[in-house]
Structure 1
Amino acid sequence: MRKALALLTALLAVIMAPIATAAEQKEAPLVLAAASLQESLNAAADAWSARGHPRPRISFAGSSALARQIEAGAQADMFVSADEPWMDELAGRKLLKTGTRVSFLRNTLVLIAPRVSAVKLAVRPNMPLAQALGTGRLAIADPAGVPAGLYAKQALTKLGVWVSVQGKLAPAENVRAALALVSRGAAPLGIVYGTDAKAAPDVKVIGLFPAASHDPISYPVALLASSRNPEAEGFRRFLISTEGKALFHRFGFGTK
């Protein structure tokens, strides 16, 4: 009887082994995402993993840098951009999977200073931003292509102060690098997204840029045409679901 039971147990183990191995071998999708999504998208990946899926691997950088990597043939499954134009460019090059692009998040643009700063400055037309900087520089993401920098340039131009500060910039490779300059006190003022400021305890918001001063800050997500990972579509759907959007709300994002 014992021998029969042992044989049955061994047989069941052999039968079940391929199933366990197949589950373990599911490949985690690779997501290329805007730097401003670090906390929120990692939280979403954790929530997706808790449902029994492989935790998505996420590479954060400026949207411009990521789009260029995709154009150069980077092997990834999904792209989440901090603006529409970079996603438009990839769509124009047929690098997105048809029917998977969705614009699902919004953000705001704010002027920040180190938490200990005594600077007070109302964000308005012709504000004395250059004078408030003194001998310091304004930390922004590179306005030559990074979305946060482009939005910042639009806003400063609309408010009539771009010319006065363009020679006093500290351009950074992405919005989180700009945030770090202010957080460390290396720059007296900076322009970042509202969600970035919320994530950094060492900075404070001086003012909010009017929505009409820049293009709407819109985050689209899409699968890449080269993706063959079946897990990627499930994660994309989770991000744009009611539950996914509620998660992003907790980090200060608006949703569409």
Structure 2
Amino acid sequence: MPPRYRHRFKHLATLLLFMFSSCVFAGERVTVFAAASLTNALTEVGNTFKTDNMVNPTKIDPVFVFASSSTLARQIAQGAPAQLYLSANQKWMDYLVEQKSVAAKSRVTLLRNSLVLIAPNTSPIDNIVLNKQWNIAQAVGDSRIAVGDPDHVPAGRYAKQALENLDLWPQAISLLARANNVRGALALVERGESPFGIVYATDAQIAKKVKVVSAFPNSSHKPIEYPLVLVESTPSAATSAFYQYLQSDVAQAIFVKYGFKVDSV
């Protein structure tokens, strides 16, 4: 083959290799297992990332699986194909680190939250003083207080801690409607099936059919923190890109809009 043709062939081969590589990585999916309380905010973060050609030129596609942090942590420990995990508390992240199921050195605390008591918008009650004088049995009647299951769900664990701290747990323990996750507890109050619910402030903010009737003191429970981690010790370029994006100013501004607290905003 004449030299000039060999040069053209080499150039064409390089171009085709580049095009093939772009096709392979374009639209690569990154699976994120995340706490149910992040559904709205994280969905918007993902949509913003997908449409930003500057930070996502190869059209990486983040895919979210939302559920209780405990459920997701157990699935990851059993080998579920997640690339990122975003928990609603440190306990389940500790569990995965102990199981050596995640890349522990990549762990960062991304967000913070607070805990509130909610009621349906139609409730005549607008304010409740949260102390041991609150007669819970009288307040709920023949119904229940909606919470994430304190045995498994982070929001429920925080609720139990707060109620214990305020000397309300002995009254409350037999009057709980235990949901599989915090969004389940929110739904019970939205539908009017429970007169009260204990949820994150961010859940109350996005719900149109409930109102906040009291806020639990931050000192009444452990800090509500959302740690983020890479599942794989050698993540793909796409996974690393979205991991970094979640910590960016753009993403954090979206989280703040939904009521989360971040250290840098």
TM-score above 0.5, yes or no: yes
Partner in structure 1 of residue 182 of structure 2: 175
Between 231-240 and 150-159, the greater mean CA deviation after superposition: 231-240
For 1:134-213, list aligned pairs within 5 A. 134-213=141-220
Q: CA deviation at 1:168?
A: 1.1
Partner in structure 1 of residue 8 of structure 2: none
1:38 aligns with 2:39: yes
CA contact (8 A) 1:77 1:227 kept: no
Partner in structure 2 of residue 234 of structure 1: 241
Aligned match of 1:104 in 93, 106, 110? 110
Give the distance between the partners of 1:114 and 1:253, measured in 2 at CA.
22
Partner in structure 1 of residue 226 of structure 2: 219
- Deviation track 1:198-241 (CA, whole Å, cap 9, x = no partner) reads 11100110110000100000000001036643211111111112
What TM-score does the superposition give when structure 1 sets the normalisation length?
0.90
User: Where in structure 1 are there 5+ consecutive unaligned residues?
Assistant: 1-10
Q: CA deviation at 1:99?
A: 2.3
Between 180-189 and 126-135, the greater mean CA deviation after superposition: 126-135
Partner in structure 2 of residue 119 of structure 1: 125
What TM-score does the superposition give when structure 2 sets the normalisation length?
0.87
Q: For 1:101, what is the secondary structure of its paired residue?
A: strand
Partner in structure 2 of residue 86 of structure 1: 92
Letter of the 2:220 counterpart: S
Count of aligned pairs between the two proteins: 244
CA contact (8 A) 2:111 2:225 kept: yes
Give the distance between the partners of 1:98 and 1:139, measured in 2 at CA.
34
- Deviation track 1:122-171 (CA, whole Å, cap 9, x = no partner) reads 23221222221111100000000210000000001111111112111100
Across the aligned residues of Structure 1 and Structure 2, the Cα RMSD in angstroms comes to 1.8
- Deviation track 1:14-65 (CA, whole Å, cap 9, x = no partner) reads 94853652343x4211000000000110011111111233220000000011
1:250 aligns with 2:252: no
Q: For 2:242, what is the secondary structure of its paired residue?
A: helix
Give the distance between the partners of 1:188 and 1:244, measured in 2 at CA.
35
Q: For 2:192, what is the secondary structure of its paired residue?
A: coil
Q: Is the alpha carbon distance of 1:57 and 1:39 closer, same or farther for their aligned partners in structure 2, counting shifts above 3 Å?
A: same
CA contact (8 A) 2:107 2:227 kept: yes
- Deviation track 1:88-129 (CA, whole Å, cap 9, x = no partner) reads 111111111142110021101000011111124423221222
